[in-house]
Amino acid sequence: MKSDRPFGKFKDYIVENGIRNCHADISMPDDKEFTDMIALDAVFIMEFFLSAKENPEGGNDCKHKNTNTVKHLTELLRCFYIPLDLSPNQLDNYGVSYSATKLYDSGISFKAVQERYLLDVNFTKNSYICWLFSLLTRKKIAKARLELPKLIIEDGIECKLRNLIALEQCHYPEQFFICDYVSLIEGLIETQEDVDFLLGEKVIVNGLGSNRAVAELVNSLCREILMTSSCYEKQLIKGLNEHYKDPFNLTMGTLRSVYLKDMWRATSTIVGLAVLAFTFVNFF
């Protein structure tokens, strides 16, 4: 480690009995050798993460320039979740006002994306002409789409997120990026039905077993947290809320989900409209 502290100081933090009990191999070395082994392993892991930026031959997967100033492993984990271009914006309204199922009813589709930072969430809108063309050609072109990296909700996720939130509350009062993300997910998940929908869209993975447990967990994460800014406010949150408030979007969303959900329903709808139009013309 690049530090003035003697190596022995690091070994003072090792809880020897607790770590030894986690090993299946009962033929472990004595206390001193075991402590030295754990200390060397810990130093190696931290050096390995930090060298991801400094070693050009090994690639540059670690894109954050401030990794060599990281003071805690929780802070290092935070670095790997946050895209480089995130910046806080003044919060005009607190988070997303509508759940995932309501946003879907207004015509917004959800897509799970790969190889992105966890906090790299995007909201895009296409023109009505492009969207109508997609209905006729059966191409998957949504009028509006929310893209989110897949979130795995399993045992330990609550502890991890709460530690990250506490870190930001104490050390990053103007950069509540993890808090913003958790607040966004909390806004999308209000009930068990929202969890069912997001599971179907492969946006989240339920490792807890119960969809109700997922909803309760997500809804408890941001309690008593004051949000004054959001890295998603400028485009994403504002765009989602304004899209839902447009009555035309709700009408078109209902048309898509009820009458144009698949090829058979779309064909029946078009035939029905054609018959209605033909009857109307003949009547007059």
pLDDT at 270: 77
Q: Residue 246 and residue 98: Cα distance in Å, rounded?
A: 13
Length reported for the chain: 284
DSSP 3-state of 122: strand
Pick out the chain residues at pLDDT < 50.
1-2, 56, 59-60, 62, 65, 137-139, 141
Alpha-carbon span 82 to 118, nearest angstrom: 7
Identify the DSSP state of 113. Answer: E
The answer to whether the beta carbons of residues 178 and 156 sit under 8 Å apart is no
What pLDDT is recorded for position 73? 83
Going by C-alpha positions, the residue among 182, 109, 96 that lies closest to residue 144 is: 109
- What is d(CA 50, CA 45) in angstroms, rounded to the nearest whole number? 9
If you search the block for the tokens 């059966």, which residue do you land on?
Answer: 138
Query: What's the rounded Cα separation, in Å, for the pair 131 and 147?
Result: 17
Strands 122-125, 108-113: pairing kind: unpaired
Q: What is the pLDDT of residue 90?
A: 54
pTM of the model: 0.67
> Within the chain, what is the greatest distance between any pair of CA atoms?
98
Q: Which residue has the tokens 């009820």?
A: 258
Taking CA atoms, 51 is separated from 58, 65, 116, in Å, by: 9, 12, 21
Determine the pLDDT at residue 138: 46
Instruction: Tell me how far apart the alpha carbons of residues 277 and 281 are, in angstroms, rounded to a whole number.
Output: 6
Pairing of strands 151-153, 204-206: parallel
For residue 56, the model assigns a pLDDT of 47
Name the region of 92 (left: φ>0; alpha: ψ -120 to 50; beta: rest): alpha
